[in-house]
């Protein structure tokens, strides 16, 4: 007579997207999303309480931020291309897509650093500057973590660890990267675009 499965047993197939590792990444994304929501709420609250222009020296310039946004969006596309590749069992697409995503992420952080160096204010100048550097810097830290995930997954990918049936680490890294890119769209619109409408 067969015994019934224990409902408290953990799944033994690490390739399934319903396993604890996938749910852990989803919960991380939800938690981090709430932190960004809190920071952006603080930004808009400060703006609503400010008399006069906000920021006081005019809207942020878009010469670097706009192309940087496009770069990050393209990196989301290459990450998607890589993940879809391994789902089809294509190791080459996975490796190439992850590598291009890594390079684009590094370019994004480099341009962000250049933009910081052109700012006329610092973290301590005023409340706006503090929030600007906190929000964009917090996002930059998430991009850096995403790059570390990318490097780890790439290391396994080049060793041929992933298959069409076993690729959960790729899926988790892609989920995180798409989250980081999506958050940047909200940050970019909030910090760089909305000041032009005040």
Span 3-48, pLDDT tens digits: 445 555 555 555 555 678 888 999 999 999 999 999 999 999 998 8
CB 134 within 8 Å of CB 39: yes
User: How far apart are alpha carbons 170 and 101 in whole angstroms?
Assistant: 13
Query: Mean pLDDT throughout 133-148?
Result: 98
**Quick one: pLDDT band at residue 57, thresholds 50, 70, 90?**
confident
**What pTM, to 2 d.p., does this model score?**
0.89
Residues 6+ apart with CB under 8 A from 119: 129
User: How far apart are alpha carbons 7 and 89 in whole angstroms?
Assistant: 32
**Quick one: pLDDT band at residue 125, thresholds 50, 70, 90?**
confident
User: How far apart are alpha carbons 42 and 53 in whole angstroms?
Assistant: 17
Percentage, residues of the chain above pLDDT 70: 91
Most confident range (mean pLDDT) of 21-25, 114-118, 125-129 is 114-118
Percentage, residues of the chain above pLDDT 90: 74
Instruction: Give the pLDDT confidence score for residue 18 in this predicted structure.
Output: 62
Structure tokens, 137:
């810097």
**Quick one: pLDDT band at residue 197, thresholds 50, 70, 90?**
confident
21 vs 162, higher pLDDT: 162
Tell me: pLDDT of 120 over 60.
yes
Output the DSSP codes for 16-41. Answer: STTSHHHHHHHHHHHHHHHHHHHHHH
Smallest CA-to-CA distance from 173 within 157, 159, 160, 188 is with 157
Instruction: Give the pLDDT confidence score for residue 131 in this predicted structure.
Output: 95
Block residue for tokens 């798409």: 178
- Residue-range domain boundaries for the chain: 20-197
Structure tokens, 166:
């076993």
- Cβ atoms within 10 Å, residue 165: 10
Query: Mean pLDDT throughout 114-120?
Result: 94
CATH node for 20-197 = 1.20.120.80
Please give the distance of CA 81 from its chain centroid, rounded to a whole number: 16
Smallest CA-to-CA distance from 80 within 177, 198, 2 is with 177
Block residue for tokens 């909305």: 194
Instruction: Give the pLDDT confidence score for residue 2 in this predicted structure.
Output: 46
Tell me the pLDDT tens digit for each residue of 77-101. 999 999 999 999 999 999 999 999 9
Tell me what the pLDDT averaged over the chain comes to: 90
């Amino acid at each position: 007579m067969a015994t019934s499965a224990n409902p408290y047993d953990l799944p033994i197939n690490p390739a399934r997207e319903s396993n604890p590792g996938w749910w852990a990444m989803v919960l991380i994304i939800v938690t981090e999303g709430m932190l960004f929501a809190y920071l952006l709420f603080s930004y808009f609250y400060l703006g609503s309480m400010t008399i006069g222009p906000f920021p006081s020296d005019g809207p942020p310039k878009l010469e670097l931020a706009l192309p940087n946004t496009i770069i990050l969006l393209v990196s989301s596309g290459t990450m998607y291309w890589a993940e879809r590749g391994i789902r089809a069992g294509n190791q080459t697409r996975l490796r190439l897509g992850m590598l291009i995503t890594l390079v684009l992420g590094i370019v994004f952080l480099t341009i962000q650093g250049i933009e910081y160096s052109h700012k006329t204010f610092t973290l301590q100048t005023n409340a706006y500057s503090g929030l600007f550097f906190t929000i964009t810097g917090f996002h930059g830290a998430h991009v850096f973590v995403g790059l570390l995930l990318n490097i780890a997954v790439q290391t396994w990918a080049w060793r041929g660890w992933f298959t069409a049936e076993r690729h959960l680490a790729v899926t988790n890294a892609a989920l995180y990267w798409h989250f980081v890119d999506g958050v940047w769209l909200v940050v970019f619109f909030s910090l760089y675009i909305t000041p032009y409408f005040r």
